[in-house]
Amino acid sequence: MSSLGFSIESREGAARAGTLTTPHGVIQTPAFVPVGTKAGVKGLLPSVLKELGAQVVLANTYHLYLQPGEQIVKDAGGLGKFMNWEGPTMTDSGGFQVFSLGAAFGRTITKIAKGEELPREQSVSVFDADVQSQHGQLAVIDDQGVTFTSHLDGTLHRFTPERSVEIQQALGADMFFAFDECTAPTEPYEYQREAMERTHRWAQRSLTTHRQNIKANQTQAIFGIVQGGRHADLRKESAKEIASLGFDGFGIGGSFSKEDMHGALQAAIPELPDELPRHFLGIGEPGDVLTGIANGMDLFDCVAATRIGRHGSIYTKRGPIHLKGEKFRNDLGPLDPEMLVPGTEGFTRAYVAHQVRAGEMLGAIICSMHNLGFIIQLVEGARQAIHDGRFAAYREDFVRNYYGK
């Protein structure tokens, strides 16, 4: 029996606004989920997240397994209590880390591909140079699971679907994901199918393991993940298979080109049960989030808001800006006059630019706060627009101003 309750309150086309009830609180959807990779959103206290309007936080299974270890989190009372967060929590499966440490190691690959395929020898690392020089390829996938060496100390570890679920049960999040293989969008069709079929087998094993733990099954929900890369036929097939297994919710995972995002969603979503929640994994660029909402997605997570914030870039209604630019040195205007974020209203672009240039951590914190607040407000606005029957106009207006088209 699922620990979740989900109801849809309003619709506009495929877009929907609903309420997701978890053991640790209610989430009004659509909702953006800040990522606290190691049980903490970088630079931001949980109380600040609440002030920004965050409803739920997602942490990373791979990283928490390695450090501090899932038993410590369990002994603390679970992820929420461990990180002093009172609201709902989620954990991923470690599947994306398998992708990052294995087939994608030494390549610049993200969940959204840009441009044409690159030969492996012409791409650069997704990891820092010191990590790359120490390890080479860190993960090897087989049909039973993945063997990998820790990026922290080089020790050998192994994840299987069963082990991933056991770790996530110990972490105690309200919602977690089945173990999957996330492929690069540049992989050929034949490998996308192979990885998809492996993901389906792993999904069944993950689900079986979770259902056998009666206590965990009563308090935690498990989401299956749809794969298939950029190929609409594979996305459709994967969604149909994952939907048939009996999960509590669904994730759209993997990676694809930005141009193929809409098509991938249109292929997958009709095959998923309408009455269950859907999470778009690793998607956080403002326009992409609105595309997801327009296609019927309910939840989104991404590290981009805080990652670019740490480097001095912020979102604005007129597009992203990089505060290290010379023109912002004397700009005494607000970070974004069209979207004020709680806790950042009194800071000027000139001040934050100064903090960023000086290498002060406050600059990164303010930018991260602003970006998270921006995305959260954007999604809250989309939710209200769905209720009001004006989401299409809301999205069109944002896209025109943000992208200048």
Kindly report the backbone phi and psi dihedral angles of residue 87, in degrees, each rounded to the nearest multiple of 5, phi listed first. Answer: -90, -170
> 121 pLDDT band (50/70/90 cuts)?
very low
Q: Provide the strand spans (E) within 134-182.
A: 139-141, 146-149, 156-159, 175-177
- Is residue 246 located within the same domain as residue 343? no
pLDDT at 132: 37
Six token digits for residue 322: 């990089």
Torsion, Cα of 358, 359, 360, 366 (10° steps): 100
Give the number of domains in the chain: 2
CB 250 within 8 Å of CB 277: yes
- Is residue 244 located within the same domain as residue 128? yes
Q: Which residue has the higher pLDDT, 106 or 193?
A: 193
- Is residue 251 located within the same domain as residue 316? no
Task: Please state, in angstroms and as integers, the Cα–Cα distance from residue 231 to each residue in 109, 137, 193, following that order.
Answer: 17, 27, 9
pLDDT at 127: 33
Q: How do residues 136-172 score in pLDDT, each as one tens digit? A: 457 788 999 999 888 888 888 999 999 999 999 999 9
- Is residue 345 located within the same domain as residue 209? no
Give domain status of residue 15, yes or no.
no
Query: Is the pLDDT at 95 greater than 90, yes or no?
Result: no
Place of tokens 């299974």: 61
Q: How do residues 239-252 score in pLDDT, each as one tens digit? A: 999 999 999 999 99
Report the candidate in 119, 116, 128, 199 with the shortest Cα–Cα distance to residue 161: 199
- Is residue 344 located within the same domain as residue 216? no
CATH number at residue 53: 3.20.20.105
Mean pLDDT of the 11-15 span: 98
Q: 182-186, 228-232, 245-249, 264-268: which has the minimum mean pLDDT?
A: 182-186
Domain limits for position 326: 311-403
Q: 226-230, 247-251, 329-333: which has the minimum mean pLDDT?
A: 226-230
Residue where a domain terminates, one of 262, 290, 308: 308
Six token digits for residue 344: 């950042």
> 101 pLDDT band (50/70/90 cuts)?
low
Report the candidate in 83, 80, 92 with the shortest Cα–Cα distance to residue 25: 80
Mean pLDDT of the 19-23 span: 98
Give domain status of residue 71, yes or no.
yes
Catalytic residues: 92, 301
Q: How do residues 179-192 score in pLDDT, each as one tens digit? A: 999 888 888 999 99
- Is residue 137 located within the same domain as residue 281? yes
pLDDT at 118: 29
Give domain status of residue 12, yes or no.
no
Kindly report the backbone phi and psi dihedral angles of residue 158, in degrees, each rounded to the nearest multiple of 5, phi listed first. Answer: -145, 130
- Is residue 211 located within the same domain as residue 260? yes
Six token digits for residue 73: 């989190």
Sheet containing strand 25-29, edge to edge, reads: 5-12, 15-22, 25-29
| CA–CA distance, 222 with 90 (Å, rounded to integer) | 10
- Is residue 209 located within the same domain as residue 345? no
Residue where a domain terminates, one of 292, 308, 324: 308
Q: How do residues 352-370 score in pLDDT, each as one tens digit? A: 999 999 999 999 999 999 9
Three-state DSSP at 225 gives strand
Q: How do residues 386-401 score in pLDDT, each as one tens digit? A: 999 999 999 999 999 9
- Is residue 186 located within the same domain as residue 301? yes
For the question of whether the overall pTM of this predicted structure is more than 0.75, the answer is yes
Give domain status of residue 142, yes or no.
yes
Pairing between strand 89-91 and 57-59? Answer: parallel
Three-state DSSP at 226 gives strand
| CA–CA distance, 294 with 305 (Å, rounded to integer) | 21
- Is residue 251 located within the same domain as residue 289? yes
pLDDT at 94: 84
What DSSP string describes 26-46? Answer: EEEESEEEEB-TTSS-TT--H
Instruction: Please name the residues in contact with 222: beta carbons below 8 A apart, sequence gap of 6 or more.
Output: 165, 175, 176, 177, 178, 206, 207, 210, 247, 248, 249
H or E element that contains 288: helix 286-294
Mean pLDDT over the full length of the chain? 90
- Is residue 323 located within the same domain as residue 278? no
Give domain status of residue 3, yes or no.
no
Q: How do residues 292-321 score in pLDDT, each as one tens digit? A: 999 999 999 999 999 999 999 999 999 999
- Is residue 321 located within the same domain as residue 237? no
Residue where a domain terminates, one of 260, 280, 308: 308
Q: 109-113, 298-302, 369-373, 377-381: which has the minimum mean pLDDT?
A: 109-113
| CA–CA distance, 294 with 108 (Å, rounded to integer) | 29
